[in-house]
């Protein structure tokens, strides 16, 4: 049996369209499949030791099939076409969640992520402060990137964000005072 703990798939053609043939890698902890043409998160349910999954710059439109990944602490899904934050119910150990540069309109379904420290959701379509308020439930949140969203155009943006989430020590690239 193979005991790989780290795999970084590097291909210069960037032609990987699906995740497959990983069934025997039960001890795999890190999986990097960025800059490909993957259209759905699939065939990862047997990777129960996975702590870091990076699927940046693919063609994903949905967060799905991650429920069995109970050990996941880092999830990188930036630069895709994801429209909604969903299906993270089983990922309660997440500390870093990167959803930058997608098509997300609302911050939702993250209040159960009690260990979340870093949340990158910049360059999306978040325009309603009411959805941002769910960040108040995440008491461990230290860093949030929300710039380049319509809410960030508010002149009171940083102040409002700090009032919503007092635990923040960094908003975008700037440390909080």
Q: What is the pLDDT of residues 50-93, one digit of tens each?
A: 999 999 999 999 999 999 999 999 999 999 999 999 999 999 99
Question: What is the pLDDT averaged over residues 6-34?
Answer: 77
Query: Which residues are paired to 82 by β-bridges?
Result: none
| H helix runs in 48-156, sequence order | 129-132
**CA distance linking residue 121 with residue 67, whole number of Å:** 21
> What confidence tier does 7 reach under pLDDT thresholds 50, 70, 90?
low
Going by their DSSP bridges, the two strands 170-171 and 174-175 should be labelled as: antiparallel
Between 21 and 174, residue with greater pLDDT: 174
Is residue 52 helix, strand or coil?
A: strand
Is residue 76 helix, strand or coil?
A: strand
Q: Which two three-digit tokens encode residue 1? A: 């049996």
Per-residue pLDDT at 77: 99
Q: What is the DSSP letter of 75?
A: E
> What confidence tier does 130 reach under pLDDT thresholds 50, 70, 90?
very high
Question: What is the pLDDT averaged over residues 19-48?
Answer: 90
Per-residue pLDDT at 6: 64
Q: What is the pTM of this model?
A: 0.93
């Amino acid at each position: 049996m193979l005991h790989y703990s780290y795999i970084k798939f590097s291909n210069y053609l960037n032609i990987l369209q699906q995740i497959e043939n990983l069934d025997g890698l039960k001890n795999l902890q890190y999986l990097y499949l960025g800059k490909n043409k993957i259209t759905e998160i699939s065939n990862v349910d047997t990777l129960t030791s996975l702590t870091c999954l990076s699927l940046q710059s693919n063609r994903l439109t949905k967060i799905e099939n991650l429920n069995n990944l109970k050990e996941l602490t880092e999830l990188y899904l930036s630069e895709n076409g994801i429209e909604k934050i969903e299906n993270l119910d089983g990922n309660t150990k997440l500390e870093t969640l990167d959803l930058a540069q997608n098509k997300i309109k609302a911050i939702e379904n993250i209040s159960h992520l009690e260990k979340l420290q870093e949340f990158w959701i910049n360059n999306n379509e978040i325009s309603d402060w009411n959805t941002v308020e769910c960040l108040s439930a995440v008491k461990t949140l230290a860093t949030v990137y929300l710039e380049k969203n319509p809410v960030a155009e508010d002149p009171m943006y940083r102040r409002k964000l700090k009032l919503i989430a007092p635990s923040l020590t960094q908003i975008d690239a700037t440390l909080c005072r």
